[in-house]
Structure 1
């Protein structure tokens, strides 16, 4: 666990060097969680990079309540990894969803082909931790005023072919989760069809 105000001014101080050091140690099974402290310039992006490459967690502590949450309520999850390189992939059923967007996680998006690639690093989940991915969706057949506006013709690419007609399965989406055991190198796939029973 690294606790810092984000001002690295002694020893290894460069972002690239620190990221490389965290990455090298993660390959040996030593994970690094980073906690930034203070109210001012805590160098958020650098601390997040270090914890990401160190297969750990990142938190920011700016008050006593946040310190209690991180070091009393959630510390076990920070110290005990139950799944590593966890990847989540969502496929929406076009007969149920006309458009969607992920809210947050902009710096964590993987290319579709990286989901099955066990060499691609992803996030770690600690004991008792949860992950929430929030999507805004527009249901298929929604009023035209909420439909997605038309897209200009592409100049350098062909227009994507329309999605194949999906079966009316009632499924809203399929959730796929891929993860490795903490000491493993091969991922396991879980797949769950999700329905919206609240229509």
Structure 2
């Protein structure tokens, strides 16, 4: 939470348009801190999470250049639930620490709107006390599937498997203080909703 201003948690299922909404918040002057971007930094060559991943999961999950083998890891965690938990136990505290450090730095620079882009926010109750409100980007599940199939070249079954490993739509909506509807291809509509949120917050 910020002493002066707002710290918003932004989340949404795969294909919901969460990243696009984050870009619109940035256009409104907010500082957007992305959990996924930090995760990639932590698992790049020389990243802070690599040693623990090598120790917990094994050398075969680290590429010769010293970065995480993302494809092998993705396939493994879909097949082995405890591997997913192991990876999360390594990454989540590091991601949280880095995001809070970045937020603190932005606040010191006078930023009045910080947006924490957290895909697994609904699954991570420890975040809620640190946020002023939670904003969920929402759309029909059929729209999510269609978008991800077109964007990533996946099959419907593959997309549904990814969605199965995320919080359900109802679980995300249950934790929402505000909802941005994004069922259409009209990005102007989503932009207007984000602008409206910023106006409501007095920004």
TM-score tier by shorter-chain length is under 0.3
Using the size of structure 1 for normalisation, the TM-score is 0.25
Which has more radius of gyration? 1
- More helix, by proportion: 2
